[in-house]
Amino acid sequence: MADGSTGIGGNAGRGRQAGPRCVALVGPFASGKTSLLEAILERTGAIPKAGRVADGTSLGDAAPEARAHRMGVELNVADCEFLGERFTILDCPGSVEFLFEGEAVLPGVDMAVVVCEADQKKIPALQLTLKLLETRGVPHVLFLNKIDKADQSLRETLELMQTASTVPMVLRQIPIWKEGIAIGTIDLALERAHVFREHAESEIVPIPDADRAQEVEARYQMLEKLADYDDHLMEELLSDIEPPRDEIFEDLRRETREGLICPVFIGSAERGNGVTRLLKAIRHDAPSVAATADRLGLNAGPGEAVVQVMKTLHTQHGGKMSIARVLAGKLAEGATLFDPNGAGDRISGLYRIQGKETTKRGEAIAGETVGLAKVEVAHTGDTLTTAKTGTPRLATLTPPEPVMGTAVVPTDRKDEVKLNAALTRIAEEDPSIRISHDAETGETLVEGQGEMHLRVAFERLTAKFGVTVEFRPISVPYRETIRGKTSVRGRHKKQSGGHGQFGDVVLEIAPLPRGSGFVFTEAITGGVVPRNYIPAVEEGVADCLKAGALGFPVVDLAVRLVDGSYHTVDSSDMAFKTAAQIGMREGLPNCQPILLEPILRVEIACPSDATARINQIVTGRRGQLLGFDARIDWAGWDTVQALIPQAEMQHLIVELRSATAGVGTFRARFEHLAELSGHLAAKVLERQKAARAA
């Protein structure tokens, strides 16, 4: 059998079967993850022929939205068998806008394959992926894809990629070049050459004489890096003793599992080159599910089944489906699973998932990845157990802050209830979508990770739930305040038979420093306004502050009740409340009202070579730069601090991503209110006037 019939390094150090394992394919957008999935499934016989993403024939990226945009937008799941062992391959989206989709699966996988290509523009995106893996402690290898299209040396490529990784990258293979094209590889551990064959396993050939010296040098560099974590191997190298092959493979296996190194393999997923070698490395080096459970700190009791929920789906006809990895025990249909709070629900069915196809299956053992039907207590990131006491979450999963949003209303007003239910399900499927309701404006807000992220969410809203919506910019929460002071009388008198209405107040209105809010006091003497009516006066004043002279909520002012009069029969709480409202409506326009706009403190994370462009973007949006520093623990990245008006934040992320090869992001928090005047204020007031007249 080409590439060798036994696993890499035989079974050295394996000891026992690892059980079904789970491997995630991660990496930058358009690096070939789905193509690699297709190649793996074809090579293992799971599908008869690899599909093509460009042709819309792949098993992965089969969702309508993925097909339409020709990009991964959600997790794809597929099973296969290789050399007698079972694997679940999870193909994760590469776009930074869908990065959380992949992050949610990492706690439950045994290993990740980082798919990348020799493209300097994608190094920051590669760094995002590697940072996630390193933070989560997930063992990983790197598959350098599209080697057939590489236009620079492997050494240069490795140096470029190393800047994205905090652990050493160790070459496992070097290419065999012919007329500038990679026609095969040399395995540095096996010291064996392979020549590529189109969509077939490589052919073993003698190491070409022209590549022998390079192979010896590259192999020694590999061994040197391994020896950094193995004193015995270091002694052998210093003594010019050739280490046994089993020792080399055991070091590769151990150091990969411990996250000390990141082995690098090369190939071309679209041509099926290098796939068998990668599969054998995964088979040999990927930890068992028991080791993964240990890494997560799982301590399951006897007979207890524990699962990690990786993804939530809502199917049109089958209801809720949870994709979960069994980390311990056995799971059968009808079993009850409990969440960390002890709430339980029965599994109505177990399913095998192969792309978009689901088929009913029987009992699931530790290591298998399955679909759980209609387990309502299951949410993405949860750890569920058959133990009634529940179990703590094995990993914290925090969705990223939204960076783009819109207000939505149903095209058909009758769909209001349907829209709310559908949005709840959309957010459950993708927790990085945030749904909220603004009580002040009455707007339903949908926020996410970027333009494409929101577009896909709304396409699903229509396709899966039959709801179409109209989009509106999110209202900016403008405020108004006053510069001047005044004293005003508010008098309400009405007689319409029987008891009348009478209330009379004198109010002093004055500005307060920014951020003070609203302060109400009284200085009534002689009982001219009975004390039991004073709360009604304050209530009337507060009601008028909801919309001042300019039409916006009024802040930072003091109102003092100083005088008034009452009628023993006709006065009431309502009369004094109305009198206060009359006084405020007359008084506020005489206090030099001014418009205030919210200013946000914005922290922008970007590659250092884009910092100058980011500064220009900030100042172009009326922003004030506060400075920038190197991003902590992120080599080659900066953090830019700025103050930007909230009115200028719309589509900021689009500009940032354009300036940073798609990886820039930001966090924003309310900082303060600032005066807005001139033509900008005039435009705001004109829009507000039109809205009130509509």
**Ranges assigned E (strand) in 532-647:** 557-565, 593-607, 624-630, 637-645
∠ Cα 159 161 164 (to 5°):
120
pLDDT score of 1 more than 60: no
Tell me the pLDDT band of 645, cut-offs 50, 70 and 90. Answer: very high
pTM confidence score: 0.91
Tens digits of residue pLDDT in 402-418 = 999 999 999 998 999 99
**Nearest residue to 642 (alpha-carbon basis) of 664, 622, 662:** 622
Q: What is the pLDDT of residue 691?
A: 82
pLDDT score of 8 more than 50: no
User: Could you give the CA distance from residue 342 to residue 325 in angstroms, rounded to a whole number?
Assistant: 20
Average pLDDT over residues 596-614: 97
Average pLDDT over residues 254-270: 96
Q: What six digits make up the tokens of 535?
A: 């709360």
Tens digits of residue pLDDT in 30-47 = 999 999 999 999 999 999
User: Could you give the CA distance from residue 34 to residue 53 in angstroms, rounded to a whole number?
Assistant: 7
Q: What is the pLDDT of residue 153?
A: 84
pLDDT score of 265 more than 50: yes
Q: What's the DSSP call for residue 301?
A: P
pLDDT score of 12 more than 60: no
438-442, 481-485, 574-578, 618-622: least confidently modelled range: 438-442
pLDDT score of 380 more than 90: yes
Mapping DSSP to helix (H, G, I), strand (E, B) and coil, where does residue 430 land?
A: coil
Q: What six digits make up the tokens of 210?
A: 């022209």
Q: What is the pLDDT of residue 14?
A: 40
Does residue 21 contact residue 98 with C-beta atoms inside 8 Å?
no
List, in order, residues 6 or more apart from 295 with CB less than 8 Å away: 137, 287
Tell me the pLDDT band of 198, cut-offs 50, 70 and 90. Answer: confident
Strand 306-315's sheet: what is its strand order? 344-346, 336-338, 383-385, 306-315, 319-328, 369-373, 350-354, 357-360
pLDDT score of 150 more than 90: no
Q: What is the pLDDT of residue 85?
A: 95
Tens digits of residue pLDDT in 59-107 = 988 888 999 898 999 999 999 999 999 999 999 999 999 999 999 999 9
Which residue did the predictor score with more confidence, 292 or 151? 292
Measure the N-to-C terminal CA separation of the chain; round to a whole number of Å: 77
Number of helices (H), then strands (E), in the chain? 17, 34
Average pLDDT over residues 652-679: 97
pLDDT score of 20 more than 90: yes
User: Could you give the CA distance from residue 451 to residue 535 in angstroms, rounded to a whole number?
Assistant: 49
556 — phi, psi (to 5°)? 60, 60
Mapping DSSP to helix (H, G, I), strand (E, B) and coil, where does residue 141 land?
A: strand
Amino acid at 445: L
Tens digits of residue pLDDT in 391-400 = 899 999 999 9
Q: What share of the chain is helix, strand, coil (3-state, %, to 5)?
A: 30, 30, 35
pLDDT over 70, % of the chain? 97
Average pLDDT over residues 239-243: 94
What secondary structure does DSSP assign to 213-233, as a single string? Answer: HHHHHHHHHHHHHHHTT-HHH
pLDDT score of 566 more than 90: yes
Angle between the N-to-C axes of helices 231-238 and 209-227, in degrees from 0 to 180, rounded to the nearest 10:
140
Does residue 480 contact residue 548 with C-beta atoms inside 8 Å?
yes
Average pLDDT over residues 619-638: 96
Tens digits of residue pLDDT in 288-344 = 999 999 999 999 889 999 999 999 999 877 789 999 999 999 999 999 999 999 999
Q: What is the pLDDT of residue 10?
A: 38
Tens digits of residue pLDDT in 498-530 = 678 999 999 999 999 999 999 999 999 999 999
For all residues of the chain together, what is the average pLDDT?
A: 93
C-beta neighbour count of 415 within 10 angstroms: 18
3-7, 146-150, 174-178: least confidently modelled range: 3-7
User: Could you give the CA distance from residue 425 to residue 433 in angstroms, rounded to a whole number?
Assistant: 10
pLDDT score of 4 more than 60: no
Average pLDDT over residues 638-663: 97
Q: What is the pLDDT of residue 498?
A: 67
416 — phi, psi (to 5°)? -60, -50
pLDDT score of 494 more than 60: yes
Does residue 91 contact residue 60 with C-beta atoms inside 8 Å?
yes
Tell me the pLDDT band of 359, cut-offs 50, 70 and 90. Answer: very high
List, in order, residues 6 or more apart from 553 with CB less than 8 Å away: 440, 479, 480, 545, 546, 547
